[in-house]
Structure 1
Amino acid sequence: MNAILDKAIAAMSRLPDAVQEAIAREVLNLIDADARWDTFLGDPRSRNALSQLAAQARDEIARVDVPKF
């Protein structure tokens, strides 16, 4: 474990149990969501679909006068 994670866990250990559980659930949800994105983006079907969507977006932008910010 690295130093910042040690520091965060030490700080969380001083919080009420309900808050510790809520934070732990959020961390686990973030880790799970990240793993699901990795699986999704690693699938060649997803890469193909995302490439098609990007091409459609570029085509649409080329056809429309898009204001520059």
Structure 2
Amino acid sequence: MTELLEQAIAKIKQLPETEQDAIAALILEELEDEALWDSAFAKSHDALAKLAAAALAADQAGETQELDPETL
């Protein structure tokens, strides 16, 4: 466990149980969400590679234009 995480847990331990549970729920939700994103990206590698190749081909064929943030 990192020193920063140990410091955070030490501070959380000082809170009332309801606040500890709320923080724990947030952490668990974040970890689950991160796992879902990791899984989704792992499954989408081939599709993303095809999209990237298509975008590069379109750019090389002169079918793209530079983005001008002033015109958004």
Answer whether TM exceeds 0.5 for this pair: yes
The structural deviation recorded for 1:22 is 0.3
Q: Which residue of 2 aligns with 1:15?
A: 15
Deviations 1:33-65 (A, max 9, x none): 00000000000xx3455567779xxx8xx789x
Unpaired segments ≥5 residues, structure 1: none
User: Which residues of 2 match residues 23-42 of structure 1 at below 5 A?
Assistant: 23-42=23-42
Letter in structure 2 aligned against 1:18: T
Unpaired segments ≥5 residues, structure 2: none
Deviations 1:6-33 (A, max 9, x none): 0000000000000000000000000000
Identity rate, percent = 35
Please report the RMSD computed on the Cα atoms of aligned residues, expressed in angstroms.
2.6
Letter in structure 2 aligned against 1:15: L
CA distance in 1, matches of 2:40, 2:29: 16
Q: TM-score, normalised by structure 2?
A: 0.66
Tell me the matched-pair count: 66
Letter in structure 2 aligned against 1:5: L
The structure that has the greater radius of gyration is 2
